[in-house]
Every structure is written in C-alpha cells, then in structure tokens.
C-alpha cells in the first residue's frame, strides 16, 4: 500500500529527475574536479595539523627560549611563517571549493 501511495509522488518527481539529469551531467566534471582537489588538500591539512601539534611543545618551551641564542628564535619564526604561508595559499582553494560544494549539495540530496 505504501508503494501505491508513493507512486504518484514518484511520478511527480520523474520530470524533475529528467530535468536534473542534464544538470547533473553538467556538474559531474565539476565534482570530478573537486574530488582530486579535496584529496590533494587532505594530506596538506593533516600535515599542517601535525606540524602544529609538533610546534606546541616548542611553543610551551618558548619563554625560556626567548632569552636563548638568536638562531633558535629565527628557526621557529621561519617555521611559523612557513605554516602561515601554506595556510594562506590553501585558503583561496578552499574558498573556491565552497560555492561549488554548496551548489552540489541540494542536487546530491535529490539523487540520494
């Protein structure tokens, strides 16, 4: 009985699906493009996280280091700058991905 009840709804959805199909076909290359980008970003994110957790104990040790020889401070500063640069360079990619992801979301929901 449920199937019978759902049938008109399904029939109603059918033209929508037919309409969505070319749209999905159009979006598919975008999705295909997004995936490697996201996959590419993941290890970088993981790496950043790792560097951050590695830096934490160093940061904790910093007050005594402040009085220490200059090279250590310079080295830490360089690492921090490097992390910042990586993060900054990732940001536009993430920003670029967001609207595409947002756009794909309702379409993905319609098909799931």
Domain assignment present for 103: yes
**With 80 as the cut, is the pLDDT of residue 11 above it?**
no
Mean pLDDT on 54-61 = 73
Total domains in the fold of the chain: 1
Taking only the tens place, the pLDDT of each residue in 40-52 is: 777 777 888 887 7
φ/ψ of 92, rounded to 5, equals -60, -35
pTM value surpassing 0.75: no
Q: Which domain holds residue 39?
A: 33-57+69-111
Q: What whole-number distance in Å separates Cα of residue 34 and Cα of residue 62?
A: 40
Domain assignment present for 84: yes
Contact 38, 97 (CB under 8 A): yes
Domain assignment present for 101: yes
């Amino acid at each position: 009985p449920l199937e019978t009840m759902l049938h008109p709804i399904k029939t109603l959805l059918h033209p929508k699906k037919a309409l969505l199909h070319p749209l999905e076909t159009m979006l598919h290359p975008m999705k295909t493009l997004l995936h490697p980008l996201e996959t590419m970003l993941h290890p970088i994110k993981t790496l950043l996280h790792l560097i951050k957790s590695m830096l934490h104990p160093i940061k904790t040790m910093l007050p005594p280091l402040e009085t220490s020889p200059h090279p250590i401070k310079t080295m830490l500063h360089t690492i921090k700058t490097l992390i910042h640069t990586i993060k900054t360079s990732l940001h536009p990619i993430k920003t670029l991905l967001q609207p595409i992801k947002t756009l794909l979301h309702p379409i993905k929901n319609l098909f799931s």
